[in-house]
Chain A
Amino acid sequence: MKRLDSILLKFFLYGIPAVIVFAAYSYFYSLGVVNHANVNLNFLNSFAGLVFALWMSLSLYLSVRLMVSGPFRDQVLAKLTFIRERDERESLLTGKATRTTFLTSLAILIFLFCLSCFQVSIYKLPSEMAVDGKTGIVSLGLGFNFLEHSKQDKPRETIEKKDIFSYTGLPVSNTTVILTIIVWQIMSYNYSMRRLTK
């Protein structure tokens, strides 16, 4: 299993340039830059799709292995995060740096959770809908949706209003948030480790 994982990991890593090239080719193919009538170019596009599908399947398999296999996780993530545990002191420092990384990541996640729940809206109502002669409205709220784009999100009735400022949830995509957390974890760990070893 260890040998197989090692081989698959190498395929995954060395396949990245090929996947990038094939993705670029498929992009241009979909734009119509490449001649669709050419059989060879059509075949190449299909082949690129197949390679990409295989690479994606491989990445899913490796992700699951990272979650369930301790030795594999140590082998891959230790290299990725530059973890070195050559003796008891470095093991202790690794623990301290990991603790700092865990707590700061948790703080960021809590902060992001609050931002994603928070809703602010400042708007003006039409004069016929004024409340006590006032048309300016400030609305504050907290929203939590278990599922993305749930049916409850849709308002039952719409009113004509002039939005001045509106904030509903995080303005960044899920992918950006996940990537930010990954980069933060690696940077935070390395910074803590450097600070501790000084």
Chain B
Amino acid sequence: MSKSLPQLKIVSRLHVLRAERRMTQEQLAKEVGVTRATIVAIEGGGYNPSLELAFRIARYFGADINTIFSIEEVTK
């Protein structure tokens, strides 16, 4: 019998880091090579970035990936 896995949600602190550096979504998008819509989707929780993009964002901010993206268990 398969055990039901807990539902997980990726939480992003991207907007906080961006605000600290006074960057626009457009500027960040340009820096990491995606569209502004993708940054909007990541910040809004509508899209989970690939590992490659997550590492690229972390490298750009000079931060650990865990400080930008964390995981939360969704309670029903």
Contacts and interface: CB of A to CB of B under 8 A. Distances in A.
Interface stretch (A64-72, A86-94, A140-148): A86-94
Interface residues of A, number: 7
Nearest to B38: A89
Contacts of B33: 87
A197 interface: yes
A89 B33 CA distance: 12
B75 interface: no
Interface in B17-68: 33-35, 37-38, 41, 47, 49-50, 52-53
B50 A88 contact: yes
Nearest to A88: B50
Nearest to B47: A89
A89 B34 CA distance: 8
A86 B29 CA distance: 11
A68 B70 CA distance: 45
B53 to A, nearest CB: 6
Interface of A: 86-90, 92, 197
Would you list the 3 A-B pairs with minimal beta carbon distance, nearest first?
A87-B34, A89-B38, A86-B35
22 contacts: A86-B34, A86-B35, A87-B33, A87-B34, A87-B35, A87-B38, A88-B34, A88-B38, A88-B49, A88-B50, A88-B52, A88-B53, A89-B34, A89-B35, A89-B37, A89-B38, A89-B41, A89-B47, A90-B35, A90-B38, A92-B47, A197-B37
